[in-house]
């Protein structure tokens, strides 16, 4: 009986385990103060935990129930099942102060294990939330986060090395996450005083075949560093 009970516990633990991506990277966002804290990939559901910071006087926010996760590299969509920490539109959450943060939990159906990039799309009339090319790859996320961490610590040379190594070892000229790497490389080269290298990186971006290339080109131009 003891052995049987142990086996049952092990089976339950297996089925209740989740693949958790802490602070997964994403490439494009409609709301700069909206961040992903984690993505939990369960056998029967996908759970996104988000953080939103208010930067406006009398700011308000809601999530439309007609929100989906979409396979970034396909057409499959997974409709929102439930949400916590925020109200469903048209009801709104009214922030009490500027700088207030709220945590939002969104639950979706499970997605296939071979889907490595997802988009969060809020289908609504205006100010709709969009987070594109969320990366579900633990190893790649770790490398990207290290490069971003070094950049935010004011260590552009070390950050540049991480991103350049990433391009050499992982780059496939297709995965949309490398659009983010291009944007950082352009910014770092410019910060290091090499406008020529920044332009060369931008040209490599334009010559690439990455998913969402035109969006990344536009994002690079919006920085004012390249044209």
| CATH number given to 138-222 | 1.25.40
**118 and 75 Cβ atoms separated by less than 8 Å:** no
> Model confidence over 58-74: pLDDT tens digits?
889 999 999 999 999 98
pLDDT for 16: 55
Query: Does residue 214 carry a pLDDT above 50?
Result: yes
Q: Which two tokens stand for residue 89?
A: 């539109």
What pTM value is reported for the model? Answer: 0.83
pLDDT for 227: 87
Query: Domain locations in the chain?
Result: 17-135, 138-222
Domain 17-135 sits in CATH 1.10.1040.10: no
Q: Which two tokens stand for residue 68?
A: 């989906």
The count of other CB atoms within 10 Å of the CB of residue 195 is 12
More confident residue, 146 or 9: 146
Query: Does residue 18 carry a pLDDT above 90?
Result: no
Query: Does residue 13 carry a pLDDT above 50?
Result: no
């Amino acid at each position: 009986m003891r052995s049987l009970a142990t086996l049952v516990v092990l089976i339950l633990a297996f089925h209740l385990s989740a693949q958790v991506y802490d602070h997964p990277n994403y490439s494009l966002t409609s709301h700069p103060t909206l961040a992903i804290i984690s993505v939990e990939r369960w056998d029967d559901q996908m759970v996104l935990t988000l953080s939103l910071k208010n930067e406006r006087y009398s700011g308000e926010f809601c999530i439309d129930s007609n929100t989906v996760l979409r396979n970034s590299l396909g057409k499959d969509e997974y409709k929102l099942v439930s949400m916590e920490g925020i109200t469903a539109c048209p009801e709104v959450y009214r922030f009490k102060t500027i700088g207030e943060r709220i945590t939002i939990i969104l639950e979706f159906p499970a997605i296939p294990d071979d889907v490595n990039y997802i988009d969060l799309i809020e289908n609504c009339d205006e100010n709709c939330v969009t987070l594109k090319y969320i990366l579900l790859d633990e190893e790649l996320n770790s490398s990207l986060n290290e490069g971003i961490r070094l950049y935010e610590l004011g260590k552009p040379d070390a950050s540049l090395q991480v991103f350049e190594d990433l391009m050499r070892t992982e780059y496939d000229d297709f995965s949309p996450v490398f659009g983010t790497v291009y944007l950082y490389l352009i910014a770092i080269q410019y910060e290091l005083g090499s406008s020529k290298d920044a332009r060369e990186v931008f040209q490599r971006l334009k010559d690439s075949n990455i998913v969402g290339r035109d969006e990344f080109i536009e994002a690079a131009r919006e920085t004012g560093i390249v044209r």
